[in-house]
A and B are shown apart, each in its own frame.
Chain A
């Protein structure tokens, strides 16, 4: 390969491909086969060792991990040796793919397997297979369905966050002094960890006895400012905290969209005699629609993972009113160590999310096409 100029190799893949010596190709393939053999051997030895068939083996599964890393390296080397220039290009993508397969695909498949087990970490007997009974149990679990119901509320609240964020983006896009200062300040809540926010706002600002938010509410005439006692108030309080953290994200993206908007369009509207409100609804809003839909979908994806604030402020209370699916499953594991059932709940939730997002993407795609 050294003697072929790379530029030529780029344009004439086939030629470069034929020039690779047959021995080199074979050597590259041999490498991969050898590494695969090592990996499989380690795996088989360890499985047999754990199941008690043979005595030699490793004390833990770490060697399998090393085997996978070794195999990945050999695969990369083999690609370059057997496929030359094309192998070199594949090398860009391979690390990320191998990494993702190792930490997502494999654990997810493993998750499907765990979901069919009756497995409680705190019980003395180990896991045993119980088919779909986790699924049946899930359909009779009122708390789980309650959490799913709450997710509908939290997801719909994204629209409220969007409205506020749009307003803020418009403010920042107006002719104002100190825009840089306001932009930095408005962005700050997004930087803070939800756990710290849980304490800063949920547990101290909104604290019933001494919190300034409670004091303010008392001054405004609310005698009993308990933010986390009644179900709906608690839900709104949690949502308010999450909105505080996430509005900056929506705002920044909408602001970028506003700044990319051609100025002539708005001026044309002004010439036509449109007032501020009209030009917003008939010009700005339609132009911003694609950006809006993108940011709303991203935001919904993140909203569906909401957990940290709920876990730390209310732990799902009162009576599951603020529970999200994630925080509920967290407690299924933390309080009951019920790994099998918890994973079953999580996998079912994942399937729901996939269906929901697919429908949402289809609908939004069709809608934007009809509008534009």
Chain B
């Protein structure tokens, strides 16, 4: 009796979360899908006729899409490369016996808690500004021409800023994982005369593989949707040089009021994110069983 009672109660308690998430996910997504087949611009009143896949055709064949697709790949790939490489190195370093480890940890972690608009503006104005920025001052002290970061290498500059924001996350996850490595095994390897490289490649790296996969997948989910950093630094420019898919859809939807085209873009972005999500879900699903 008590169990049937608690079972129905359990269902009741699940209800709000499930219903809210269902509405949040299904309703707008169906609306996006619907809009994506319409000729619908907020600036042009009147009918919104059904035009089939025309919006998709326009969106995908638009040179801006091709460029921002590759920019998105470069942004995600570049940041992953930097944060994983740096994160593994830092995690190993912070795992050593050092003085003031907690303080170093706090300093390394700090950028993660800085809001995206602040970090982007601080880097853009105070560090990377070609006239008054610290890097420009530094360049002139050593007698080099200062780089105009956001005009000459806009995408690379954004990759750099975003890497600074995400390096702490990668480091923290990898450090947590490295600290669960069996110390006795490492000592045994030492006694057997294993060098630092063979220890790294045969013991540390395999142990980290799961954490590395987690970092790759989680960062990818967030990095696909980078927006604020682009908005406040380059606004996607010059041209489309630093526009990613998220930013492209934003300009189409809310700056050009092209609801149909923006929706088609939104659906394309959902499909791309889904491909990543499938792998992430498998990884976490496996963990749930263990």
The answer to whether A and B interact is: no
Instruction: Give me the interface of A with B, judged by CB distance under 8 Å.
Output: none
